Amino acid sequence: MLVHIIADYGFGDLAFAEVVQRLKLYLPDAEPILTPVPAFATLAAGFCIAQLGLNQAPAGTIIYHNVAPREDDGQARASNAGERLAFARLPTGVRVIGVNAGYAFSFVRDLAVELRWAAVAAEGSQFRSRDLFPEAAGAIALGQPDALGEEIPRSDIPDVPPNCIAYIDGYGNLKTTIKHESSSTHQDDTVLLQIGDIERKATRSDGSFAVESGQLAFAPGSSGWTNAQGEQTRWMEVFLRGSNAWESFNCPSIATQINIS
C-alpha cells in the first residue's frame, strides 16, 4: 500500500521517522514516501495532495498529511487541541487523511467524491500525527466501522487563493495558483512579474525550456490534473533556465502574491 506522508516536520527530521513507525504499526503493508513542505505551509501541502491524489496512482494509495499551524483559534488551547482530522475520497480512488487546516483540502474540495470528519479526538497530544492520528488512519484505510464521522460542508473549506506561490521545487521553480487557461498574455509576450519587492521581466512561452539559458520563463508547468469530464487544470510556473527562480526573487515564501503586468 503506497502511503504518501506530506508534512512540515523538516527534511530528514526525526518526526518523519516516528510517524512512519507508528503508521506501520497499524498498516504493516504501508510503503511510505515522504514529502516535506515548509513550516505551516498549508497551501503547499494542499498543492501536493492534489498533484499526487488527482493523478493516476496504484490501487489503495493513501495520502496522510499533517500541516497544523493551529490557527483556527488564537486563544490558549487546552490539551494541545488543534484542527480536526478529515478524510476525502478522490475520483482516482486515492484516499486523503489529514488535518483540515488552512488550504490543505482546497485544491481537492470540489472534486472529492466524499469529504468527512474522522472519528478521532483533535486534542490530547502535542504530536497528534504520531500519537493519535495513525490509528485513526489505519481504521479508515481498513474500512473499519465508525472510523468516519459526519460530512464536512464544502463551504467550510476555503477557495484556492489566486495569483500566488503554491510550491517551490528543488530546482527553485515557482509553481503558482495561476491557471494556464486564465492567463491573459499571448505566446512569446514579455511580462513583468513582481514577487515581493522584486520585479523581473519574463517570457510567456508554451514550455519552460522555450527560453534561452539565463532567461526567465512564465509558462505552463508540469503540475495539473484532469477531472472526470476530461477538463484539464494546469498551473503556470516561473522558471529561470539554468538557475534558480526562487533565489532570483529573494527567496519568497509560500503564498506570496504574484503581480503580472
- pLDDT tens column, 78-87: 343 468 999 9
pLDDT band at 206 (very low <50, low <70, confident <90, very high): confident
Asked if pLDDT for residue 10 goes beyond 50, the answer is: yes
Q: Does domain 2-156 have CATH number 3.40.50.10790?
A: yes
Average pLDDT of 123-142? 86
Which pLDDT does position 27 carry in this prediction?
96
Task: Tell me which of 1.20.1250.20, 3.30.420.40, 3.40.50.2300, 2.40.30.90 is the CATH number of domain 165-260.
Answer: 2.40.30.90
Which pLDDT does position 257 carry in this prediction?
98
Per-residue model confidence as pLDDT tens digits over 151-169:
999 999 999 999 999 999 9
What is the radius of gyration, based on Cα positions, of the chain? 19
Which pLDDT does position 187 carry in this prediction?
61
pLDDT band at 178 (very low <50, low <70, confident <90, very high): very high
Which pLDDT does position 52 carry in this prediction?
98
List Cα–Cα distances, 214 to 209, 211, 217, 260, in angstroms. 11, 8, 10, 20
What percentage of the chain reaches a pLDDT higher than 90? 75
Average pLDDT of 173-179? 97
Contacts with 86 (C-beta within 8 Å, 6 or more apart), sequence order:
97, 98, 99, 100, 105, 115, 116, 117, 118, 152
Spans of all domains in the chain: 2-156, 165-260
pLDDT band at 205 (very low <50, low <70, confident <90, very high): confident
Which one-letter amino acid corresponds to residue 94? V
pTM over 0.75: yes
Which pLDDT does position 82 carry in this prediction?
64
**Strand ranges (DSSP E) for the chain?**
2-7, 31-36, 62-66, 85-89, 95-99, 114-118, 148-151, 165-168, 174-179, 190-195, 198-204, 216-226, 232-240, 258-260
215-232 as b/e: b if 16+ CB within 10 A? bbbbbbbebbbeeeeeee
Which one-letter amino acid corresponds to residue 97? I
pLDDT band at 176 (very low <50, low <70, confident <90, very high): very high
Asked if pLDDT for residue 73 goes beyond 80, the answer is: no
Per-residue model confidence as pLDDT tens digits over 37-68:
999 999 999 999 999 999 999 999 999 999 98
Contacts with 34 (C-beta within 8 Å, 6 or more apart), sequence order:
5, 7, 16, 20
Report residue 175 as a C-alpha cell. 509553481
Average pLDDT of the residues of the chain: 90
The helix/strand count (H/E) of the chain reads as: 5, 14
